[in-house]
Amino acid sequence: MEKKEYPAINVLNVMRGFRRPDIPHQVTPYRFETQKGEKHKISEIRQTHRERVGKAYHFHYVVCTRHKRYFHLVFDTGTLTWHMVQEVDPELFFS
């Protein structure tokens, strides 16, 4: 994942050590902050998948914020960093 193309973000998340019904994913994001200072609280994780990239994994999330904005976020286990891939227009994908 190229850093110039996808800006790094700060994310408050939970890393699950064992299965629990209230922690739905191995890595569950709850809120994030962009480099511009925008803060977003995640109200729903709409989609998730994991892909192998070299020796690491990328965890992909399409999330909905409490202000009904949708974002594609990626957690890179190789660098332990989060990146925002894009803001998704919900009318194109969820109508």
43-75: per-residue pLDDT in tens? 999 999 999 999 999 999 999 999 999 999 999
| Domain presence at residue 1 | no
65: domain range? 8-93
| Domain presence at residue 3 | no
**What is the reported pTM?**
0.86
| Overall number of domains in the chain | 1
Strand-pair partners of 15: 27
Q: One-letter amino acid identity for 36?
A: K
> What is the rounded radius of gyration, in angstroms, for the C-alpha atoms of the chain?
13
With beta carbons less than 8 A apart as the criterion, state whether 8 and 85 touch. no
pLDDT greater at residue 76 or residue 3? 76
Structure confidence at residue 89 (pLDDT): 74
25-34: per-residue pLDDT in tens? 999 999 999 9
Task: Say which residue the tokens 């894009």 belong to.
Answer: 86
Structure confidence at residue 4 (pLDDT): 59
| Domain presence at residue 2 | no
| Domain presence at residue 75 | yes
| Domain presence at residue 69 | yes
